[in-house]
Chains A and B, each alone.
Chain A
Amino acid sequence: MLSVKNLHATVEGKEILRGINLEVKAGEVHAIMGPNGSGKSTLASVLAGNEKFTVTEGSVEFLGHDLLSMSIEDRARLGLFLGFQYPVEIPGVTMANFMKLAVNEQRKYRGEEPLSAAEFLRLMKEKSAVVELSSKLTARAVNEGFSGGEKKKNEIFQMAMLDPKLAILDETDSGLDIDALRIVATGVTKLHTAENATVVITHYQRLLDYIVPDVVHVLYKGRIIYTGDKTLALKLEKEGYDWLINQYDK
C-alpha cells in the first residue's frame, strides 16, 4: 500500500529525514517510536504533503500513485489520513459543515454523488458513536473550545467519517487521560480492517496495549534504526532507547 524509499526531507535547510525506508501493507498496523526530535512527526507531515518541508531525495508510492507529486488534498481524497498531534481550530465553522465538505470532496474525487443531508446525518450519528463523541460537539465549531481529549476524539471521528486507506496517527495519545486513551484507542481498533492500514506514532507503550502493532520501528536522527515486532515496544518501555541509540551512534 505504502512504499517509502530513501526519503530525505529538510525544513529551513536543516535535514530532518535522512533516508527513511518503510513498507506498509493492507491490514497492517505499524508503530513508529523514538526519542524526541528524531523526525517522527516530520515523517507524518511529509507523507501528508505539508509544504513547510522540502523533500530532497527519495520516493513514496501510495496505492500505485507517486505520492510526492500529488497535492495535499488529492492525497487526502485518495485515502491518506493524518490524525494531528495539535488539531487546529476553525472558528465559526461547524464540525458538521466541515465534515460534509470533506466527505463530499472525497466522493467527488471517486466519481460518486454527494451525500444527501439525511444520508450525511445518518453517517455522522453512526461514526460519532465510534469514539463516544457527543452529538453536541459536531454542532460546535471545528475544535474550538474542545478539551485536549475532545480534540483527539474528534480526530478519530473524522478518520471514521473519511474511512481512509492509510491512517497516520501522530501522537494521538499525548495529553489523554486513561479513559480518553481507552476510547480513542478502541475507536482506532474498531476502524481497522484487512483492507486498510494504520501507522501509529507514539512515545508510549500504553497506547499499544490497545492498538496492537504488527511491526514496531524505532526512528532516530531521521532514520529507522531498528524494526521489530510488538515485543520491541515492551522492551523499549522497560529499558528506554539508550541501548539502541548507543549501538547506532557507535
Chain B
Amino acid sequence: MHAMAENEKEILETIGEQEYKYGFTSAIETETIGKGLSEEVVRLISAKKGEPEWMTQRRVAAYRHWLTLEPPTWAHLKIPEIDFQDIIYYAAPKARKMLGSMDEVDPELKRTFDKLGIPLEEQMALSGVAVDAVMDSVSVKTTFKETLAEKGIIFCSISEALRDHPDLVKKYLGSVVPYTDNFYAALNAAVFSDGSFCYIPKGVRCPMELSTYFRINAAGTGQFERTLIVADEGAYVSYLEGCTAPQRDENQLHAAVVEIVVERDAEVKYSTVQNWYPGDKEGRGGVYNFVTKRGLCRENARLSWTQVETGSAITWKYPSCILAGDNSVGEFYSVAMTNNYQQADTGTKMIHIGRNTRSRIVSKGISAGQSENSYRGLVRVARGAENARNYSQCDSLLIGDRCGAHTFPVIDSRNPTAVVEHEATTSKISDDQLFYCNQRGLSTEDAVGLIVNGYAREVLAKLPMEFAVEAQKLLALQLEGTVG
C-alpha cells in the first residue's frame, strides 16, 4: 500500500474515533412510573396528566391497535429486538412550584441548558426565539407566550393545550398521522408524554422563529414526543426543533410524532437539527429514533421540511407532505450524516393529490466509519393530480471504504401529465481534494469539515441563520478527530 492510502486510512480511522461531546447527565430528581406497558399504564399516564376522557379513550384505542401490529422491518436497518416491557413510559421532573421567573428555575436544570448552549435566558429576546423547553417529557418553561398571545398565537405544551384549548386539539390531533398509521405512531398515540402545540390563527404571520429543545434525561426513559402545528388560512410560521441527548450506555427508544396542518394559503417551515446520542465508536448505546413526521397541505399551501440528522444509533424517519390542495407545494431538504456504527434510513414521501402541486427533494447523505446511510423516498402522483411536478436530487458522500450509502427512490405516477425528475450522485472525498487543501495550509481534519459543509451547503442554506451555524459546527464536530 502506498503512502497516501496509508495516511488516508489513518485519518479516516481517527475521524471515526470522534466521541460524542454532549455526554453528561444532570442530577435532577425524576418522578417515574414503573417499567412496562399495559392498558393500565396508558390510563395512568392519561390520569397523571389530568386529561379529558376522550383523550384517554383515544390513547386506549391506540394501545389496543398497537397490540395488533409488528415493528416494521422493511427499512435497510439492523434493529436489535426492543423489549417494550423494559421501558419506562413516563418520567417527569418533580414539580417544585409554579415558576414566575428564571430565578426560580432549578439551578441544576439551568446548568444543563447552559452546558448545551441553549439560550433560554436573555439571549432569547435578542435572538427572537421563543423556546418551549421540554425536559424529560414535561414542559418546564415557556417563554414569549405573552408576545405571541397578542397575535392570537398559541404556543404551549400539548398538556396545556389539552387543558386550555381542547377543541383545537381534538379537531387536529391524529388528523394527519392517525394511530393506525404505523407501529411507532400507534405506540406514540398511546403513551405520548408531552410535546408542543402551536396554532397560528388566520392571516397571522408569526413574528419569531418558534423552537423547542428536546432532551432525554432520565435513565431508561423512552421519549414519546407529540408535536402538533396548525397554520390556519394564510398564516405563516417557522418552527425549529433541535436536540442533544446526554451520554448513555443502554439504548434509548425515541418514537415521536409530528403533525402539521397547513391550511389554505398558509406556509410552514419546519427545521430540525437532530443530535441524539449516537452510541460510542464501538456501536454501543445510542438512541433509537423512530419518528413519524407528516404535514397536510390545503390549497396554495406550502410546507418545507429541513433536517440535519447527525445523531442517534438508528434513525427511521420520513418527513412527508400530503399535497391535498391544488397548487400546494412540498419541500424536503435533508443532510443525514452517519459515523462509526450509526444506521440511518431516512427520506420523504411526497403525495400529490391536488392539481398543479409541486414538490422538491434535496437529500445529502454523508457516511463515515462503518455506518449505513440510506435515502428512501416515495413520490406518488394520484390520478387527479394534473400537472404535478417533482424534482428529486439524492447525493451520497462516502468517507472511507467501510461505510455504505444506499438510495431507494420509488416513483408511482398515475397521471400522464405529471413530470417527475430524479437525479442521484455518489462521491468520495478525493485524495486530490485533501492534498489541495493541505497544500494551502489546512489540516486534513479542517479540510474534511470544509468539504463536507460545502457538500451540504444547499441544505444548510435553507436553515434559519443561527441554526445553520449550529448545524455547520455539528457536522464538523462529528468529523473532528485526533488526526495526527
A-to-B contact residues, CB < 8 Å: 11-12, 48-54, 71-73, 76-77, 81-82, 84, 87-88, 90-93, 97-98, 101-102, 105-106, 109, 141-142, 158, 162
Contact = CB atoms under 8 A, between A and B. Distances in A.
Given A54-B2, A98-B440, A105-B442, A72 B435 contact: yes
Nearest to B457: A92
Interface string B432-473: 110111111111101000110111111000000000000000
Contacts of A92: 453-458
A179 to B, nearest CB: 26
Contacts of A105: 440-443, 446
B439 A52 contact: no
Interface in B1-38: 2-4, 6-7
Interface of B: 2-4, 6-7, 430-433, 435-444, 446, 450-451, 453-458
- Top 3 A-B residue pairs of the complex, sorted by shortest distance between their CB atoms: A92-B454, A93-B454, A92-B457
Contact of B450 (A49, A93, A162): A93
B455 A102 contact: no
A72 B439 contact: yes
A53 B7 CA distance: 12
A52 B432 CA distance: 10
B450 A106 contact: no
A12 B454 contact: no
Nearest to A161: B440
B436 A88 contact: yes
B454 A76 contact: no
A48 B432 CA distance: 13
A51 to B, nearest CB: 4
A90 B441 contact: no
Contact of B441 (A52, A77, A88): A77
Nearest to B458: A92
B442 A102 contact: yes
Nearest to A13: B2
Nearest to A45: B435
Contact of A11 (B2, B436, B456): B2
A50 B436 contact: no
B455 A101 contact: no
Name, among B431, B438, B453, the residue most crowded by chain A CB atoms within 10 Å (CB to CB): B438
A52 B3 CA distance: 6
Given A90-B454, A92-B455, A73 B441 contact: yes
A93 B439 contact: no
Contacts of B442: 73, 101-102, 105
A93 B451 contact: yes
A76 B435 CA distance: 11
A211 B214 CA distance: 62
Contact of A76 (B439, B446, B450, B453): B439
Contacts of B436: 84, 87-88, 90
Nearest to B3: A51
A100 to B, nearest CB: 11
A50 B440 contact: no
Contacts of A73: 438-439, 441-444
B435 A50 contact: yes
B430 A88 contact: yes
A76 B440 CA distance: 6
A12 B441 contact: no
Contacts of B458: 92
B2 A48 contact: no
Contacts of A98: 440, 450
Nearest to B455: A92
Nearest to A10: B2
Name, among A71, A87, A91, A109, the residue most crowded by chain B CB atoms within 10 Å (CB to CB): A91
A141 B435 CA distance: 17
Contacts of A106: 441
Name, among A51, A84, A106, the residue most crowded by chain B CB atoms within 10 Å (CB to CB): A51
Given A76-B439, A105-B441, A51 B4 contact: yes
A158 B437 CA distance: 12
A77 B2 CA distance: 25
Given A90-B454, A92-B456, A72 B438 contact: yes
B443 A90 contact: no
Given A12-B2, A51-B7, A90 B450 contact: yes
B438 A76 contact: yes
A80 to B, nearest CB: 8
B454 A91 contact: yes
A143 to B, nearest CB: 9
Contact of A54 (B3, B435, B444, B457): B3
Contacts of A142: 454
Contacts of B457: 92-93
Nearest to B452: A92
A49 B450 CA distance: 21
A176 B433 CA distance: 23
Nearest to B429: A90
A50 B435 CA distance: 7
B109 to A, nearest CB: 36
7 contacts: A12-B2, A51-B4, A52-B2, A84-B436, A92-B458, A101-B450, A105-B443
